[in-house]
Amino acid sequence: MVDKINLSVAVRSNLLTLQRTAGLTDITQERLATGLKVNSAQDDATAFFISRSLNFRADDLSRIKDNIELGISTVTAGLQGIEAITELMGTAKGLANNAAATGDTNERSTLAVQFNDILTQLDDLTNDASFNGINLIKGTPDNLIIDFNEDSSNTITVSGLDSTTATTGLNVANATNNFADSAAIDTALTAINSALVELRGNAATLGSNNSILQTRLSFTEDLANTLLEGSGTLTLADLNEEGANLLSLQTRQQLGLNSLALASQSERAVLALFG
């Protein structure tokens, strides 16, 4: 049978102090390694689960933010298409005005050919103004639906706006646009001016939608950052404080070892008296 070893009160007290110090040192080293003061529910169940919930929602908002950014790019593509169409129409209008200013039949005919070439490019532009497979200005345009929250209860629908020549009134027959007489030129100019008014209206509508999306993007980014900051407040460790704690614990541990050594030495001295 093994004899039971009894420890003196002083030695036992020093050992318990060293054990507690070692435990606190492990906790501090973990905090320094992870940067977190709450690494699991055992550290602080309330803070841990609230922080996790905040992080989950921030992740959801990050995905929503990505979709809003895609929506902004889609609307921007439509606006760029309308801008390019408007620029070409300005060129076409200049050709019509030049034709009106000259009475030379050959020159008018040449200008009419250039005018009609521009018209053929307009619908090509509407067809090319797509992003991520969505085109907001082509004939039979797509609609864009974007979620603003996690359960899709708050959305925006950006309705497509047909900006083709057939809808804007620029599908003027080439025969009409040969600029053979002033009436034909006036017809072309009237059609261009009418189309420009409609295109500007389309651009204003898409621009308004784009402004809404930009505002929601900023709000979503700010909210996600606020959630992450709140999560960090609950769980992030103060590394300066933890570094100071570690130094203090290491000093305490060394003092505890010295105290234990002195207590043991004192006991051996007492035992020697009875030897």
Tokens of 52: 């996790």
What is the distance between the alpha carbons of residues 48 and 227, in angstroms, rounded to a whole number? 14
Which residues fall within 8 angstroms of residue 216, CB to CB, at 6 or more apart?
A: 68, 148, 156
At residue 1, the pLDDT reads 47
List, for the chain, all residue ranges whose pLDDT scores fall below the cut of 50.
1, 175
**Taken in order 172, 176, 179, 185, is the CA torsion positive or negative?**
negative
167-184: pLDDT as tens digits: 887 766 554 567 888 888
17 strand-pairing partners: none
Tokens of 74: 């889609």
What is the distance between the alpha carbons of residues 60 and 63, in angstroms, rounded to a whole number? 5
Contact at 8 Å (CB) between 169 and 191?
yes
What is the distance between the alpha carbons of residues 268 and 18, in angstroms, rounded to a whole number? 21
- Would you call 146 exposed, middle or buried from its count of C-beta atoms within 10 A (0-12, 13-18, 19+)? buried
Task: Tell me which architecture the domain covering 69-235 has in CATH.
Answer: Up-down Bundle (1.20)
Which three-class secondary structure string do you get for 14-35? HHHHHHHHHHHHHHHHHHHHHC
Q: Per-domain residue ranges for the chain?
A: 69-235
At residue 175, the pLDDT reads 47
